[in-house]
Amino acid sequence: MTVTIEKVEAISLRDPQAGDHRFEGSYQNVVVVVHGNNGEIGIGESDAPPSVIKAIIDMPDYNSLAGGLGHILTGQKVDDPGRLAQDMYDRTQWFGRNGVVIHAMSALDIAIWDLFARSQGKPLHGVLGVKHHDRLPVYATIYPLEDDVDKITAQVTPLLGAGFRHLKVCVEPWWQDRALVARNLTHLRHIVGPDLGLMLDVALEFRKFEELSPFLPLLEDLGFSWIEAPFPLDNLTDHIKLKAATHIPIGVGDLGMTTCKEFVPYLAARAFDIAQPDLTMFGGLSEARNLASMLAQTGRRIIPHAYNTDITIAANLHFLATLPEAGLIEFSTSNSRLRRKLAHGLGGIDSDGMIAVPDTLGLGLTLNQRLIEETRGRV
C-alpha cells in the first residue's frame, strides 16, 4: 500500500537553560513530524531559527510558486522522497531556491525519508542505498574551548574517557592573543597525544586570509586534520589563497551552503578538500545524495556538520553508511537537554571511538514526548 501524508507538524522548542545570546542552536530547535495514513510518522529537524522554519511550513499558499511546505506535502503519496523534495523546491520559487526555505525543506525531507523507510519496514540506510559500514568513527566538538590549560585538561579528559578519538575545537575570542593560542593548543596536543585527530572550526571568525595565515605554521606543527569554515562563503578568493598556503585540508559548506550548485564554483576553483553540508540546512538527505553523486569522482570527502540532536546524528549515520569511504560523525558536547534527550535510540560510543549504524526502522529513533511538552512553544 502506498502511504499518503495526512498531516505535517512543525514544533518549536526551547530549552529553559537557553540564554538570550547563546550561539548554540541546540538550546533551540524545531522538530517536524510527518504523519502517514498508515499510522507511521517520520521525524526531522533544522538547525535554523525555529519560529522562521515553523512559519514557512505552516503558512498558507501565497500563489502557485510560493506555497506553504505543509500544504504542499499534505495529501501527497510517499512513493519517492526525491520527487517530493523536488516538488517543494519547484513550488517555492517565488521566495525559495536557497537560504532559510531550504532549511525548512531539509527538516521535512529527513522526516519524509524516515516515514518512507518505516513504511517499508526497513532502516533508513536500506532505502538510501547499499550499506558499506556497520560502524563509523565519531568526533566531539568542543564549544567553547576554555582559555586556561588546567581548564582545558578538565574539559577534554572526560571526552577521552568516553572513547572519542577525534576532537574539534573552535576559534574563540582569546585567539586575539597569539601567545595564548600557541600555549593552549600546544597543551591540547600534549594531553591528547600524537595520534588523536584534532580539527579546527574557524566558524567564520576570520574575514580575510591575512587574519588566519599567522596561525598556519602552528596548526601544521600540531598536526591538525582540517580547517573548517575559514571565511564567509562569498569570499572564494581567500579560500583559494588558504588552499594554496597549507597542506591542511579545507572544509566548507556547513555555514551558508544550502544546495549543490553553491559547491560548483568552489569545486571548479579547487578551493576545498572536505564538503561539510549540514543535512538539516542543505536540503536533507535528497540533496546530500545529489552532492555525493557530484563529488564521487573528484577526490573530495563528505563529512557532514551536526551540531544538533540525535535526529541529525542518525540522519548522518545512515547517509554516510551508504558511501564507500567512511566519514566521521560529529557529536556536539552541548549540555542542552534537547541535544541530549530529545530522541532516543542511538547506541553509545565504543571504546575505539566508533558508533553503530542503526538497523531498526527508519532513523531508528523515538521522540521524547515528555521533553517536547516541557519545552514546546517557548520560542
Residues 6+ apart with CB under 8 A from 196: 160, 165, 166, 167
Looking at residue 285, what is its pLDDT? 98
Tell me where in the chain the CATH 3.30.390.10 domain(s) lie: 5-122+370-375
Looking at residue 313, what is its pLDDT? 98
Looking at residue 18, what is its pLDDT? 74
Looking at residue 181, what is its pLDDT? 96
- Is pTM beyond 0.85 here? yes
Tell me where in the chain the CATH 3.20.20.120 domain(s) lie: 127-363
Looking at residue 377, what is its pLDDT? 79
Looking at residue 24, what is its pLDDT? 63
In DSSP notation, 131-163 reads: ---SEEEEEEEESSPPSSHHHHHHHHHHHHHTT
Looking at residue 68, what is its pLDDT? 96
Fold of 127-363: TIM Barrel (3.20.20)
Fold of 5-122+370-375: Enolase-like; domain 1 (3.30.390)
In degrees to the nearest 10, what's the CA dihedral of 367, 143, 253, 108?
A: 10
CB of 239 within 8 A of CB of 230?
Answer: yes
Distance of alpha carbon 3 from alpha carbon 6, whole angstroms: 9
Taking only the tens of pLDDT, the chain with its 379 residues reads 789 999 999 999 998 877 654 456 688 999 999 999 999 999 999 999 999 999 999 999 999 889 999 999 999 999 999 999 999 999 999 999 899 999 999 999 999 999 999 999 999 999 999 999 999 999 999 988 999 999 999 999 999 999 999 999 999 889 999 999 999 999 999 999 999 999 999 998 999 999 999 999 999 999 999 999 999 999 999 999 999 999 999 999 998 899 999 999 999 999 999 999 999 999 999 999 999 999 999 999 999 999 999 999 999 999 999 999 999 999 999 889 999 999 999 999 999 999 999 999 999 999 999 999 999 975 5
Residues constituting the chain: 379
How deeply is 216 buried, as exposed, middle or buried, from its count of CB atoms within 10 A (0-12, 13-18, 19+)? middle
CB of 76 within 8 A of CB of 87?
Answer: yes
In DSSP notation, 54-109 reads: HHHHHPPPSBTTB--HHHHHTT-B-S-HHHHHHHHHHTTTTT-SSTHHHHHHHHHH
- Three cell numbers written together for 46: 533544522
